[in-house]
Amino acid sequence: MEKIKELFKKELNVVNIGLESFYMDLKKQNKKAIHLDWKPPAGGNEKMASLLSKLK
């Protein structure tokens, strides 16, 4: 339990993947964060993603 308490005393550093509004909220709070604009392959369409994976 002590290690968990130590963790929450440290400065927050965030890598945000996907939802940009979450990143913007962190920046408004002056938290260290970077944003990766990620979307699922083929827009999340499993059939299309399967077809695209065969092109590799």
Give dist(CA 32, CA 13) in Å, integer: 5
Q: Give the pLDDT score at 7.
A: 85
Q: Give the pLDDT score at 24.
A: 96
pTM listed for this prediction: 0.59
pLDDT in tens, 1-50: 888 888 888 888 999 998 999 999 999 999 999 999 988 889 889 999 99
Q: Give the pLDDT score at 23.
A: 96
- Going by C-beta distance under 8 Å and a sequence separation of 6 or more, which residues neighbour residue 52? 41, 42
Q: Which tokens hold the place of 4?
A: 């968990």
